[in-house]
Chain A
């Protein structure tokens, strides 16, 4: 029989009316459930919005800026004709440029009265490029600045708040040059905080003038290749041709990784959290549906008995949850807009909105639709399964009769009555607490994971993942004509300073190495006494003689080398055979470094790095300032700042994530406690009445509920803590393994992790139970017994 539209409309209206009444009756549970669903949707949609924004932003920046696919830095002389010849002879090179960059020491760059000495960045001054690798303004237009003006990297706009209209002063000796900030620059090659160089854009006239008074020239040899050409081919040919290469070489994919890590990590984490939240929301939903259906067994039995078709009953219950999911989806999607924009603001600032802005609208929409489908499908399945009982079974309440089992009162009596009863009942009813148990585990895990990650990364011992043992201060003496004099001056000063406990100096240069494919590529090698600041090795140890070499983890992996294997490198036209003595972790320089006792020639040294420890009681910050005033040609950085700047956005993001995780977790913990408490007190209303009738007070009953829930939570916190320490370590290792650190030991701050965090969670739940169980007071014996 066909149903008319009018009948369908009336039936829908009736259903919605019933749903509305049901919501009113179970306000707390409905609100809590809706909130759960909204939070899940918010995170899912928010994470996808961030993802869409980042993809669009980075794609847009790369499309407009056209970053190089291969970039070789070099200081010192080079023959331009040789370079041109190289380009002409290699047809796979589509385009090339030589970027002349004037490196100016941070001590000579002044903003608002402060130099940039605290910055780890190497700062270079360039004019706009031609052909590719364009520097863009905040509208992603190729920008050219006028005389007297300067374009400042967006990194500094974010880090120290430089704005258009501000003044940057370059000063050395008697020379001073003021430049007005006319634009903020987006640099597709050097945008990311993880890249250690930054470029300022100035006018040719200004560049000519400034170079006459300060700075050292550095050259960036940049290439765009024909489609399909591997950068490894170029790298090999470049080395074979003995092209200028005493600096870092970076491929386009490495640049991409650094950008992705800087901006993509947060999206990854938000989506990971959303997946967990969705799982919890679905678990909660299933539990609530089963609990509600169990409570309404009798009603459903009566409906079936008087002839209601199963489909109609299913529809009634499904409608309830469909309405909830729809509300949550709409609210979650809308709330994800500012949420996602907040977390992607950094990416937008660095890269712009991009050319595919539709992604930030469509990705979350798809996510929300998928989520809704999953949730509704889950609801349907649970409802269908629970409605299959026969009329008699429903009327008898056989579901309830399913044995919970029983517990025995202690033979010795009830010394701690409420505790004994709470434990006994928990033993019988543990299944009802599975959902809350998992939520508590998840919350504990969520609070601890970013907290522990942050603690690990901020710990001084994290230095060991940067290829060097723990130390207090680092001094970089970059290549210049006066490199040796600067180095000698530094050593001479350190030798005579009684506040210096110990120091070690390391040469850094490049050798050539044959990789596993037989191709030659550059290998960055550090030469120095590894015993002064000993490094933790994953395997083996430091090289002891001139025939041993230690490799970073990424290098060892890619070369397929283990301790004891041999490796041939080429330096100064000579082939040197080494035995791998050890493998260590290093996230600097793309994770690919080595240590060997190769005495490099002065002209080949890219940088001298000195690590030092100060005496006990000496303030590291003060010592740093003192050293900067004396060793004015060197870059001097406290190690703590070095680590945080090297990791760039990761540590900042971890702080935000850690704070957000604590808030989310505590809110979750509170919500689930309220919800479960409401459900359980409703289900046990008759037991509550019985207990009251035989002499238990309201206080006793509330204490029993509190014991049950707090005990569950305590166990969950222990489990969550174990998971955070174990799985957390794996997750952190996975994130940092891309950068070169494969075996991270999670460093836990015991007081925060093992005392404050559990105490905060337990306390919150305790308060929630006290407030939430007040409803027990309103249960009148007669009313509950009569029901």
Chain B
């Protein structure tokens, strides 16, 4: 689904990503881990088209998103992918519900009624129906993050990118989000996430470990293992304390 070929990125004179390559298949759940400043978020932003790269290719279903024109990139963000930021980013002049359905209404691939219906369904699924008409400032961080996931899902994207989805949440909210993310993948959603949290990474079927802008290690879990334990051991084996 996504093929990343030797992408590199620098900020001023500092190389943040160095010829990174990997594949993401449909239905995959990939987690990116690594120490602070290793380039995890940069990698996520780069392969989701949210940031430019200096060299390499990111092929989405065979199309290089790095060569997409601005309008094509907008359409890609609108229809093909969903993005969830670490801190929920909502437009403050819209209610939570309107924030969720906005990308759907903009895409105009379905009627407004259908979009609103799906928005309600998503909110129900995320168990945040009660915050529908509220302002962003009137809901908790966890609720807002779930709303962000709803927004990311509104156009039935082919892939979901999550940047530290539980980074700003308390443990209860983290559990809720974890449950949702896991269910989404079980339902067939392709997911790529950046995380420090082993619990999140343990939900993934593949973990990429980045050090200094390069993939240092890759772990694929088999179906029936206790992934948290296996992950822990693997990380220890990498002489890293997560």
Contact = CB atoms under 8 A, between A and B. Distances in A.
22 contacts: A403-B135, A406-B95, A406-B98, A406-B135, A409-B98, A409-B101, A409-B105, A413-B105, A413-B108, A417-B106, A424-B93, A428-B93, A692-B74, A693-B85, A694-B83, A694-B103, A694-B151, A695-B78, A697-B74, A698-B70, A781-B45, A782-B50
B74 A417 contact: no
A689 B50 CA distance: 10
Contacts of A754: none
B95 A408 contact: yes
Interface of B: 41, 45, 50-52, 70-71, 74-75, 77-79, 83, 85, 87, 89-95, 98, 101-103, 105-108, 111-112, 115, 135, 137, 151
Chain B at the A interface: SS class = helix
Interface string A751-787: 0000000000000000000000000010011100100
Interface of A: 401, 403-414, 417, 424-425, 428-429, 686-687, 689-700, 777, 780-782, 785
A216 to B, nearest CB: 82
B85 A785 contact: yes
A196 B85 CA distance: 80
B137 A691 contact: no
Contacts of A424: 93-94
Given A694-B103, A695-B106, A409 B74 contact: no
Given A409-B101, A780-B51, A687 B91 contact: yes
B93 A690 contact: no
Contact of A692 (B41, B77, B79): B77
A473 to B, nearest CB: 66
A705 to B, nearest CB: 15
B106 A696 contact: yes
Given A401-B137, A404-B93, A414-B105, A695 B45 contact: no
Contacts of B111: 413
Nearest to B72: A697
Contacts of B151: 694
A461 B20 CA distance: 82
A690 B103 contact: no
A424 B85 CA distance: 25
B74 A695 contact: yes
A409 B93 contact: no
B78 A694 contact: yes
B213 to A, nearest CB: 16
A694 B93 contact: no
B50 A693 contact: yes
Given A417-B106, A696-B106, A781-B50, A687 B92 contact: yes
Nearest to B151: A694
A737 B52 CA distance: 69
A409 B91 CA distance: 12
Contacts of B74: 692, 695-697, 700
Contacts of A425: 93
Contacts of B92: 404, 406, 687
Contact of A695 (B41, B75, B90, B95): B75
A695 B137 contact: no
Contact of A697 (B52, B71, B83, B103): B71
Closest 5 CB pairs of A and B: A695-B78, A413-B112, A697-B74, A414-B105, A428-B93
A428 B95 CA distance: 13
A417 B103 contact: no
Given A414-B108, A697-B71, A782-B45, A409 B102 contact: yes
B93 A693 contact: no
Contacts of B50: 693, 781-782
Contacts of A410: 112
Contacts of A411: 112
Contacts of B107: 695
A417 B115 CA distance: 15
A694 B100 CA distance: 10
A777 B90 CA distance: 20
A690 B89 contact: yes
B89 A689 contact: yes
B79 A407 contact: no
Contacts of A693: 50, 77, 83, 85, 89
Nearest to B101: A409
A690 B94 contact: no
Given A413-B105, A697-B70, A691 B75 contact: no
Given A408-B98, A694-B83, 6 more contacts: A404-B92, A405-B93, A694-B78, A695-B74, A698-B70, A777-B70
A397 to B, nearest CB: 11
Contacts of A413: 105, 108, 111-112, 115
A521 B156 CA distance: 95
Contacts of B115: 413
Contacts of B85: 693, 785
Nearest to A786: B41
B51 A406 contact: no
A416 to B, nearest CB: 11
B90 to A, nearest CB: 7
A405 B98 CA distance: 14
A84 B111 CA distance: 103
Contacts of A698: 70
Q: Which of B75, B106, B137 neighbours the largest number of chain A CB atoms within 10 Å of its CB?
A: B106
A105 to B, nearest CB: 77
A699 B105 CA distance: 17
Contacts of A417: 105-106
Given A693-B83, A785-B85, A414 B106 contact: yes
Q: Which of A410, A692, A782 neighbours the largest number of chain B CB atoms within 10 Å of its CB?
A: A782
A537 B71 CA distance: 66
Contacts of B112: 410-414
A782 B89 contact: no
Given A406-B95, A690-B90, A695 B103 contact: yes
A414 B108 CA distance: 8
A411 B111 CA distance: 10
B138 to A, nearest CB: 11
B81 to A, nearest CB: 9
A407 B93 contact: yes
Nearest to B49: A781
Contacts of A412: 112
Contacts of A785: 85, 87, 89
A766 to B, nearest CB: 21
Contacts of B90: 690
A699 B71 contact: yes
Nearest to A780: B51
B94 A409 contact: yes
Contacts of B77: 692-695
A412 B114 CA distance: 11
B21 to A, nearest CB: 21
Contacts of B89: 686, 689-690, 693, 785
B162 to A, nearest CB: 13
A780 to B, nearest CB: 6
B105 A781 contact: no
A84 B94 CA distance: 92
Contacts of A700: 74
Contacts of B52: 780
A424 B92 CA distance: 12
A406 B92 CA distance: 7
Nearest to A428: B93
Contact of A406 (B93, B105, B106): B93
A695 B81 CA distance: 10
A692 B48 CA distance: 13
B74 to A, nearest CB: 4
Contacts of A401: 137
A695 B91 contact: no
Given A404-B92, A411-B112, A694 B102 contact: yes
B16 to A, nearest CB: 11
Contacts of B103: 694-695
